[in-house]
Amino acid sequence: MSDVVLITGATSGFGRAAARRFAKAGWSLILAGRREARLQELKEELSQVPVHTVALDVRDAEAVKQAIAELPDEFRPIKSLINNAGLALAPKPSQDVDLADWHTMIDTNITGLVNVTHAVLPSLIKVGKGASIVNLGSVAGQWPYPGGHVYGATKAFVQQFTYNLRCDLLGTGVRVTDIAPGMAETEFTLVRTGGDQAASDKLYSGTTPLEPEDIAELIYYTASLPAHININRLEVMPTRQAWSPFAIDRD
Ligand SMILES: NC(=O)C1=CN([C@@H]2O[C@H](COP(=O)(O)OP(=O)(O)OC[C@H]3O[C@@H](n4cnc5c(N)ncnc54)[C@H](OP(=O)(O)O)[C@@H]3O)[C@@H](O)[C@H]2O)C=CC1
Ligand SMILES: O=CCS(=O)(=O)O
């Protein structure tokens, strides 16, 4: 029987690229996301391996619990959980943001991630040695920038939750990793800007951002390392991205 991976946010960007990477290695896939048509397309594309799709909003704890409880036998136990579903919204100063946007980021990036983790943990512990959780954090969880507000804070949560899980899972064999990418060209900026394709194109033009396949390779690498190796955190930027000096308010 092949190893099973559950990937959230498999309808786009890193999640979709990770699905392709795990399929290439022969894993069975559980693919989750809200856009059912995209899940079906991916299932047809990756027909060389068993694929189970789950149209799921990670913010809905009951739906998450039910989806895991109803997994076909062929897709249990889960050996690797890729907690990738997430989003940023409202790239403007905190004082101009709608409260609903802050709540959406918290509900998705924090509550959604813990909903899925809680539901899948028993399965991962059953596998034990070699099992893994890969959480998608961000450089924004470590480094502040204007307009990062709650998005960066949710990714700081992801980092600390990763480390605390490591402590609790010591002795179970389950590994936990925070992968923290910098700028990568996906639908991320389209979502963040409320569908502004020109703004998204502008951000990525004239430079060389990370590609979804770059992060997918790192996710796969992390989950397929020998069982005695745990990468705690992996921060990765495009070569053409770095930090800026501190900003100073002057008279
Ligand atoms: N691109 C970047 O520069 C970086 C991205 N990241 C992080 O990587 C992860 C993936 O982002 P990326 O691939 O770039 O962005 P995309 O927008 O391309 O993909 C985001 C994925 O998350 C899913 N998703 C969003 N909200 C929900 C929800 N409520 N329930 C279920 N699924 C949801 C979307 O699926 P659907 O809409 O179908 O539900 C989609 O598949 C995110 O956590 C993001 O914060 C981290 C660092 C850099
Ligand atoms: O998480 C995404 C990368 S960035 O936009 O915060 O740099």
- The secondary structure of 31-99, three-state, reads EEECCHHHHHHHHHHCCCCCEEEEECCCCCHHHHHHHHHCCCHHHCCCCEEEECCCCCCCCCCHHHCCH
**Antiparallel, parallel or unpaired: β 233-236 and 175-181:** parallel
Nearest CA to ligand 1 atom 29: 57
Q: Report how far residue 117's alpha carbon sits from residue 154's, in angstroms, rounded to the nearest whole number.
A: 16
Q: If you measure from the C-alpha of residue 33 to the centroid of ligand 1, how many angstroms do you get, rounded to a whole number?
A: 9
Q: Is 240 helix (H, G, I), strand (E, B) or coil?
A: coil
Task: Give, for ligand 1, the residue of 136, 178, 213 to mutate: max count of ligand atoms closer than 8 Å to Cβ.
Answer: 136
Token pair, residue 131, equals 């099992």
Kindly list the protein residues whose Cβ atom lies closer than 6 A to any atom of ligand 1.
8-9, 11-15, 33-35, 56-59, 84-87, 108, 112, 136, 138, 181, 183-184, 186-188, 191
Q: If you measure from the C-alpha of residue 88 to the centroid of ligand 1, how many angstroms do you get, rounded to a whole number?
A: 8
Please give the single-letter amino acid code of residue 62. E
Backbone φ and ψ for 43, nearest 5 degrees, come out as -60, -40
Residue 1's pLDDT is 81
Task: List average pLDDT for each run of 10 residues in the chain, which is 251 residues long.
Answer: 97 99 98 98 98 98 98 98 99 98 99 99 98 99 98 99 98 99 98 98 98 99 98 98 97 97
Please check whether residue 29 is in contact with residue 220, taking contact to mean a CB–CB distance below 8 angstroms: no
Please give the single-letter amino acid code of residue 32. A
Residue 28's pLDDT is 98
Determine whether 151 is an active site residue.
yes
Q: What atom of ligand 1 comes closest to residue 151's alpha carbon?
A: 45
Q: Report how far residue 73's alpha carbon sits from residue 234's, in angstroms, rounded to the nearest whole number.
A: 33
User: What burial class does residue 47 get, using C-beta atoms within 10 Å of its C-beta: 0-12 exposed, 13-18 middle, 19+ buried?
Assistant: exposed
Q: Which residues contact 139 (CB under 8 A, 6 or more apart)?
A: 180, 181, 182, 235, 237
CB-CB neighbours of 12 under 10 Å = 19
Alpha helices per DSSP H over the chain: 13-24, 36-45, 61-69, 99-105, 113-127, 149-169, 188-192, 197-204, 212-224
Kindly list the protein residues whose Cβ atom lies closer than 6 A to any atom of ligand 2.
138-140, 182-183
Tell me the Ramachandran region of residue 202: left when phi exceeds 0, alpha when psi lies from -120 to 50, beta otherwise: alpha
Backbone φ and ψ for 187, nearest 5 degrees, come out as -85, 5
Q: Report how far residue 230's alpha carbon sits from residue 240's, in angstroms, rounded to the nearest whole number.
A: 28
Please give the single-letter amino acid code of residue 241. Q
Residue 217's pLDDT is 99
Question: Is the overall model pTM greater than 0.95, yes or no?
Answer: yes
